[in-house]
Structure 1
Amino acid sequence: MANDRSRRDFLKASGLVAAGALLPGTAYAAPASPWDEVPVILGRIVPPSFPDVAFDVTAYGAKGDGKTKNTEAFRKAIEACNKAGGGRVVVPSGSFLTGAVTLLSNVNLVVSNGATLKFSTDPKDYPRIFTRWQGIECMNFSPFIYARGQQNVAITGPGTIDGQGPSGPWFDYDDKRGPDWDRLQQMAVDNVPVTSRNFGSGHYLKPNMIQLYECRNVLVSDVSLRNPAMWTIHPVLAKNVTVRNVKVYSRGGMVDGCDPEASSDVHITGCQFDTGDDGVAIKSGRDTDGRRIGVPSENIVIQNCTHLGRWGALTVGSEMSGGVRNVFFEDCTIKKGSSYSAFHVLYIKTNKRRGGTVDGVHARRIRATGVQREAINVTLNYSLTGPGFGPIVNPAVRNITVDGMTVEGASYALSLDGLSDSKITGVSISNSTFTKIGTATPKIKNAAKPAYSSVTVNGKPLT
């Protein structure tokens, strides 16, 4: 598109994408130990602060009766807070129903103790906005909470945000979205302008719960997030993001916990993910459209989290066409939750239309029990959509390190499934113990031999 270069230059100037963004075939010069990068990254991540001024939504007409629709009251309170130079938009005790909420710079949306922010189940309450749906930019339903191009934005607790996903029409959209999803993918291949990729009302691409697009200085903290329609926390092209002490409860499909996409300097810490899909999923755009934007996810640190959900505790992809590098996953626990056991501890997935490079995913001191499939699963043969949706552009995956992982119960400890034209390289596992593993011998195809040091599977060393 004609303005892609100017947009990318703007993102660089704003610090939303590093000038040295990872490109296919570009090697990343890692330090002596990749973990030496973590304190440097965390030193750059500073949560925003806000003036000590409160804007109670009830002062703008909101009613916490669980029935009155308070969309206009939230809009007025947020605009007043922004106009005054910032502060806290406070949701007091009660049940507050609303449609889409749009955040502005210098606003901290505070969901107080005893408060529930409940989102409408009427699709008409979510206007069409500029967004990204499964890695492709388009015009679609507003996420339940949305911001674009803002600085210093926060959503904090200790109250509850309830998307009412299972109560509305959204989960029915899963069975109806096929034609819309095919059309959007083809639009991306055909380079249709984003503003002409129109979906939303009358279509079936359901919205995210929280999406913070091209924002700087973001905080999501101490809030309980329940029942999203789709991905729960979704920073896109964002920089300096903190997600801490958040509890996510989701059911159904496409209901990940936190999905940083094409974002940098992200800290996810102290969170609990009881999810019907991935816990944390790192993304950077899909296929042709992801390569068009060409912005990686990088410098992401996940610490001290608990995964009680399904699929991957930490997943990279499958939408990773802009590249992923410098992901650190440490001191986390994976165990059976109220409904699910994890399929994978570490799951890196892509396919031969994605392109892009994953370079540097590092895990240490991870404890897992009751994993249903491969504990570590890296595949370049993940689900491939229809034959009309873009050219073959092989991805690259390299430099995956695991240290101090303890897994009790899984089908395999390790599975590497590369492409003949793009072999997985640089996998290293050390000081790790895998017990109650169904098949002790790792599955290795189209991958360089992993390096093992002090690794046992069912009591026997891997060599």
Structure 2
Amino acid sequence: MKRLMLLLSVFFLCSIKEVSAQNYSWNNLPKIQKTSFKADTFNIKKFGAKADGITLNTKSINDAITACSIKGGGVVLVSGGMWLTGPIEMKSNVNLHINRDAVLQFTADFDQYKLVEGNWEGRPAARNQSPISGTNLENIAITGTGIIDGNGDAWRAVKKDKLTETQWKNKVASGGILSEDQKTWYPSEQS
């Protein structure tokens, strides 16, 4: 009798695993459509952007994205240079293309990232706007071989075990706040 119960239990557990695997198989994932964009190109320079690494180009880049989307889509070109920006809001039918010799540098100025409604672990919560965001979009892409620098050192928490001892000492000396267990560094306005 015990042997029969054991065999039935093993069979039952194996069948649950099989049903579970079917629910989450690759075949059940939604099909993603390939993007397709008009050939129209909107160079951010024509919207007043400056590649000097000092000028905040948020408005110019977002204006180019909006104009591109309104005209039915195309490519928003970030050509060579150092482009300082705040949050970028993508729009439908836009390919944000960053040329090979371009650096899109997000500002460390926290005031540029407004508070937005979001959630944390299923509960409503306020958070800062992401460097690149969008809502209910379709047919979008970020392409090119340029660099997107999110400036994570300005806002990202850092765990001690991710740095060398010297890097950790320098990070702590820069300001910021340490967790109670002294194993996580959080940025502050002074850091």
**What is the TM-score of this pair, normalised by structure 1?**
0.29
Distance in 2, Cα, partners of 1:128 & 1:47:
33
Q: Which contiguous aligned blocks of 4+ residues in structure 1 show a shift greater than 4 angstroms?
A: none
Q: 1:132 Cα deviation (Å)?
A: 3.3
Report how far residue 113 of structure 1 moved. Answer: 0.8
Deviations 1:81-117 (A, max 9, x none): 0110111111111110001111111111111111111
Distance 1:144 1:58 in 2: 20
Report the structure, 1 or 2, having the larger strand content.
1
Maintained 8 Å contact 1:128/1:142: yes
Q: 1:108–1:153: 8 Å Cα contact kept in structure 2?
A: yes
Contact 1:131 1:142 in 2 (8 A): no
CA RMSD of the aligned region, Å?
Answer: 2.7
**Corresponding residue number in structure 1 for 2:63:** 76
CA contact (8 A) 1:110 1:155 kept: yes
Pairs within 5 Å for 1:313-332: none
2: CA distance, partners of 1:142 / 1:116: 21
Q: Report the alpha carbon displacement of residue 161 of structure 1 after superposing the two structures with TM.
A: 0.5
Alignment of 1:61 onto 2:48: yes
1:132–1:54 distance in 2 versus 1, CA, 3 Å: farther
How far off its partner does 1:47 sit?
2.9
Aligned CA distance change for structure 1 residues 49 and 38 (closer, same or farther; 3 Å): same
Q: Distance in 1 between matches of 2:126 and 2:141?
A: 24
> Cα offset for 1:54?
0.8
**Aligned twin of 1:201:** none
- Between the aligned partners of 1:116 and 1:133, the Cα distance in structure 2 is 31
Q: Assess, with a 3 A threshold, how the Cα gap between structure 1 residues 91 and 133 changes in structure 2: closer, same or farther.
A: farther
Identity of aligned residues (%): 34
AA at the equivalent of 2:60? A
Letter in 2 for 1:89: V
Cα distance 1:161–1:135, how it changes in 2: closer, same or farther (>3 A)? farther
Structure 2 matches for 1:356-395, cutoff 5 A? none
Deviation at 1:163, TM superposition (A): 1.0
Number of residue pairs matched? 145
Q: Secondary structure at the match of 1:116?
A: strand
Q: How does 1:21-420 map to 2 (within 5 A)?
A: 30=19, 37-38=25-26, 41=29, 44-133=31-120, 135-166=122-153, 168=154, 170-171=155-156, 174=157, 252-253=158-159
Between structures 1 and 2, the one with greater helix share: 2
Which runs of 5 or more structure 2 residues have no equivalent in the other structure?
1-15, 163-191
Q: What are structure 1's unaligned runs of at least 5 residues? A: 1-26, 175-251, 254-275, 277-463
Q: 1:99 to 1:91 in 2, by over 3 A?
A: same
Letter in 2 for 1:56: N
TM-score by length of 2: 0.66
Aligned mates of 1:83, 1:52 — CA distance in 2: 14
Deviation sequence 1:313-362 (CA, Å, 0-9, x none): xxxxxxxxxxxxxxxxxxxxxxxxxxxxxxxxxxxxxxxxxxxxxxxxxx
